[in-house]
Amino acid sequence: MTSQNAPRIVSLDEVPPNRRRGGDLRAMLTPPMVGATSGFMGVAIVAPGERVGEHYHPYSEEFVYLVRGELEVDLDGRTYSLRTDQGLMIPAFMRHRFRNEGDTEARMVFHLGPLAPRPDLGHVDTEGTEATQVAS
């Protein structure tokens, strides 16, 4: 079986930051960028004191792996600590938020799959962040 898309290496600096939910989210290996059909992968960079606002994914599971730093993860209102070299699977429909309560930057790789029928259906925000309030 062969792929219809040629392999493509994507660098972090090719993807503009998305700060709408807080933090610096960069969806890197996406359907438009690389022709992915089953999900997408990216990196979240969360500075000390920042958070990624609470949301859920009605169609996708989210897999995260913390490459650097520490994050507090709120899952349906219960807090867990995520440390460097730990991974977490977040089921579809589970509300979640990431908070950097430490004094060093956190970097997290994330993957969501399967894809929602349309990109605008993939995330449901359940709270605002400073970024969403400024954009409103």
Q: Domains in the chain, start-ordered, CATH in brackets?
A: 25-116 (2.60.120.10)
Model confidence band, residue 128 (pLDDT cutoffs 50, 70, 90): confident
- Is 80 in contact with 73 (CB distance < 8 Å)? yes
Which of 32, 27, 95 lies closest to 58, judged by CA?
Answer: 95
Question: Does the pLDDT of residue 4 top 70, yes or no?
Answer: no
- Is 45 in contact with 106 (CB distance < 8 Å)? yes
Tens digits of residue pLDDT in 88-116 = 999 999 999 999 999 999 999 999 999 99
Question: Does the pLDDT of residue 67 top 60, yes or no?
Answer: yes
Model confidence band, residue 135 (pLDDT cutoffs 50, 70, 90): very low
Model confidence band, residue 133 (pLDDT cutoffs 50, 70, 90): very low
Mean pLDDT of the chain: 92
- In this structure, what token pair is assigned to residue 81? 């600590």
Query: Which string of DSSP letters, residue by residue, matches 16-34?
Result: --B-TTSSEEEEEE-HHHH
How far are the Cα atoms of 34, 37, 54 from residue 9, in angstroms, in the given order? 9, 17, 30
- In this structure, what token pair is assigned to residue 39? 């999900």
Q: What pTM, to 2 d.p., does this model score? A: 0.88
Tens digits of residue pLDDT in 5-62 = 689 999 999 999 999 999 999 999 999 999 999 999 999 999 999 999 999 999 999 9
- Is 101 in contact with 82 (CB distance < 8 Å)? no
